[in-house]
Amino acid sequence: MNNNSIKTVGIMAQFSNPGELMKAAEKLRDSGYSKFDCHSPFPIHGMDKAMGLSSSSLGWVVGLAAIIGTTGALGLQWWTSTIDYPLVISGKPLFSFQAYVPITFAVGVLLSGVAALIGMLALNGLPRWNHPVFNSDKFEKVTDDAFFISIEAEDPKFHTDETIQFFESIGGTNCELLQENQ
Amino acid sequence: MKFDSQTYRLTDKGRFGSITLIVGIIGLILSCVGWFTDSQQFYFSYLTAFVFWLTIALGGLFFVLLHHLVGAKWSIVIRRFGESIMMVIPLMAILFIPLLFGLHELYLWMNSEVVASDHLLQGKSGYLNLNFFVVRAVLYFVIWTVLAFLLNKYSLQQNQNPSPEQIKKFRIISAPGMILFAVTLTFASFDWLMSLDAHWFSTIFGVYIFSGSFLSLLCVVTLVVIRLQSNGVLKEAITKEHYHDLGKLMFAFIIFWGYMAFSQYFLIWYGNIPEETIWFLHRWEGSWKSVSMLIVYGHFVIPFFVLFPQVTKRNKAVMTVMSIWILVMHWVDIYWLVMPTLHHHGYHLSWIDLATFIGIGGLFLHLFWRIFTAHPLVPVGDPNLEQSIKIVS
């Protein structure tokens, strides 16, 4: 045992209601913190703005997947039915784009959907096994009626004592260090 | 135009009401002249213009029904627009009367000699006959008018003394109202548009008309909001977020329209049965071919790409241009549904098309403006009004 050192990976504080949480997030944003997260039992409108989050780049991922899906599906149908194995079906031209539209559309939607799911997980840093916030007993109430903000130690502005002081100055209670065995 | 932002009332209504009334009357007089010069052209032009404006009024009814049915909050600030537009339906019922005199010129199946020599039409004569046609038309207008009147009545009641009673009533009316709306709109489009070519049938036709109908309503609302705001009206109540929401719905219904239009075409193309394909063949003849292509690109491809990004939906200039463009395309769409029955070998624009369009449109907009400005411009009694103003999309 023994070589186990304990490392601080962040600080968490509790807030009394969604309004306080929103105000605290705005203050954190304004004082330059960037790697922090707000925890609440329900979604709060306007929170992404209060946290200073830029709009997600997921749209570009999905857009790219949609283009690949539609062109790929159309290309495959074109190639199979005009070059690889040409067949005249009910007297229609070999390249009858009308018949290809449903499949093109469906593959485009399918690929977009899959890209949206995988992209969302990747952008959220998921899947991961655990996060130190779950070590806190108080944090269990976050799915019920408690509101928290956690700041990661990776944040350039992070400094254990100062951050705790800052949390207290903006109304945070029950400040806790988030720690992890190394 | 002067606006009192406390009561949400217009204290000075401007000249829009009188201008539209004058334009409307001039249009109708010109239409009468048109009837004397070429009655057949008149009836077809009148039907085109009538359906164009009617679909907008029905779009208003749908908007209000949907709003209450889902308990929407973002659209509360624009609910009065929808309500005032649906209250124009009784006027459309009156304007339907001239069509009754032209049924023999519009619909081939109205002529008994034609039916006598046509096996298909004989089979359909249980549905397609004069008496039943008129009974149905009366029924449609009664249903639409009653729905519109009730919804409007409780909305005005809510302005005076708000209570949960009205919200309950809105929902009780809207749920069966939505079903009635779907059925009546479908059969009305079968009766008035599809039966122009009585051999042809398409079960998706009603949904096709509906998609264009709600789409054009969104464009009219957007244009009226932009115009009012440039006169300093409702500047705080309606924000960029509402434009964004309107734009998103517009975008969605562009796609929905495209989906319906393609589905209709696709199945007929695939089945390749002469009595079905003939309808598209007529619309591929001569210069109708370019009109068909114009609709494909103008009604779907261009608006789709323009309204795709977020920025364009939040930009008033783009939304203005797009709304006008889509309304023009909606007219072209109705024209393309009606006119090939009269002009077989290519489109043939007539001055009567314009006269009937501004005649009905003038009266439509005049009545809309009168109803709209007679009351507060937003439903001041709605408990969620505040939330609607502050909405973030």
The model's pLDDT over A12-52, given as tens digits with 9 standing for 90+, comes to 888 888 888 888 888 888 888 888 888 888 888 888 888 88
Q: How many residues does chain A have?
A: 182
Q: Any chain A CB within 8 A of the CB of B311?
A: no
Q: Of A45, A46, A98, which is closest to B269 when you measure between CB atoms? A: A98
The model's pLDDT over B31-54, given as tens digits with 9 standing for 90+, comes to 999 999 999 999 999 999 999 999
Contact list, B265 vs chain A (CB under 8 Å): 98
Per-residue confidence (pLDDT) for residue A3, from 0 to 100 = 55
Continuous H helices in B71-201: 79-86, 89-101, 103-106, 112-116, 119-124, 130-160, 164-192
- Distance from the Cα of A27 to chain B's closest Cα (Å) equals 21
Quote the DSSP letter at residue B301.
I
Q: How confident is the model at residue B83 (pLDDT cuts 50, 70, 90)?
A: very high
Per-residue confidence (pLDDT) for residue A151, from 0 to 100 = 84
- CATH match of A6-54+128-181 with 2.60.120: no
The model's pLDDT over B129-188, given as tens digits with 9 standing for 90+, comes to 999 999 999 999 999 999 999 999 999 999 888 888 889 999 999 999 999 999 999 999
- Number of helices and strands in chain A (H, E): 5, 4
Q: How confident is the model at residue B24 (pLDDT cuts 50, 70, 90)?
A: very high
Best to test chain B binding among A67, A70, A100, A101 (most B CBs inside 10 Å): A101
Instruction: Indicate yes or no: CB of A101 within 8 angstroms of CB of B266.
Output: yes
3-state secondary structure of B234: coil
Q: Any chain A CB within 8 A of the CB of B305?
A: no
Instruction: Indicate yes or no: CB of A98 within 8 angstroms of CB of B272.
Output: no
Q: Any chain A CB within 8 A of the CB of B351?
A: no
Q: Which residue of A has its CA nearest to B308?
A: A63
- Distance from the Cα of A98 to chain B's closest Cα (Å) equals 7
Angle (CA) B104 B105 B109, round 5°: 50
Contact list, B270 vs chain A (CB under 8 Å): 98-99
Contact list, A90 vs chain B (CB under 8 Å): 272
Interfacial residues of A (vs B; Cβ cutoff 8 Å): 45-46, 49, 90-92, 98-99, 101-102
- Distance from the Cα of B349 to chain A's closest Cα (Å) equals 31
Q: Of A46, A91, A101, which is closest to B262 when you measure between CB atoms? A: A101
Q: Which residue of A has its CA nearest to B269?
A: A98
Contact list, A49 vs chain B (CB under 8 Å): 392
Question: Of A35-44, B70-79, B208-217, B345-354, which range is least confident?
Answer: A35-44
Per-residue confidence (pLDDT) for residue B328, from 0 to 100 = 96
Angle (CA) A66 A68 A69, round 5°: 60
Residues 234-293, chain B: which have Cβ within 8 Å of A? 262, 265-266, 269-270, 272
Backbone φ/ψ region at B205: left (φ over 0), alpha (ψ -120 to 50), beta: alpha
Quote the DSSP letter at residue B297.
I
Contact list, B392 vs chain A (CB under 8 Å): 45-46, 49
- Distance from the Cα of A76 to chain B's closest Cα (Å) equals 20
For chain A, the structural domain boundaries read: 6-54+128-181, 58-123
Question: Of A18-27, A79-88, B199-208, B322-331, which range is least confident?
Answer: A18-27
On the question of pLDDT at B206 being above 90, the answer is: yes
The model's pLDDT over B295-304, given as tens digits with 9 standing for 90+, comes to 999 999 999 9
Q: Which residue of B has its CA nearest to A89?
A: B270
On the question of pLDDT at B256 being above 60, the answer is: yes
| pLDDT above 70 as % of chain B | 100
Tokens of A149: 């903000």
Contact list, A100 vs chain B (CB under 8 Å): none
Contact list, B262 vs chain A (CB under 8 Å): 101
- Distance from the Cα of A70 to chain B's closest Cα (Å) equals 16
Instruction: Indicate yes or no: CB of A101 within 8 angstroms of CB of B270.
Output: no
> Which has the closest alpha carbon to B64: B91, B88, B86, B89?
B86
Chain A with chain B: Cβ pairs closer than 8 A: 14
Per-residue confidence (pLDDT) for residue A4, from 0 to 100 = 65
Instruction: Indicate yes or no: CB of A45 within 8 angstroms of CB of B392.
Output: yes
On the question of pLDDT at A2 being above 60, the answer is: no
Winning range, highest mean pLDDT, from A127-141, A143-157, B369-383: B369-383
- Distance from the Cα of A147 to chain B's closest Cα (Å) equals 22
Q: Any chain A CB within 8 A of the CB of B308?
A: no
Question: Of A1-10, A108-117, B249-258, which range is least confident?
Answer: A1-10
Q: How confident is the model at residue A1 (pLDDT cuts 50, 70, 90)?
A: very low
Angle (CA) B40 B46 B50, round 5°: 150
CA distance B146 to B128: 26
SS (H, E, C) B18-77: HHHHHHHHHHHHHHHHHHHHCHHHHHHHHHHHHHHHHHHHHHHHHHHHHHHHHCCCHHHH
Residue B26: Cβ within 10 Å count: 14
CA distance B157 to B381: 9
Question: Of A27-31, B105-109, B186-190, B219-223, which range is least confident?
Answer: A27-31
- Distance from the Cα of B266 to chain A's closest Cα (Å) equals 7
More confident residue, B7 or A65: A65
Contact list, A22 vs chain B (CB under 8 Å): none
Instruction: Indicate yes or no: CB of B266 within 8 angstroms of CB of A90.
Output: no
Best to test chain B binding among A98, A103, A112 (most B CBs inside 10 Å): A98
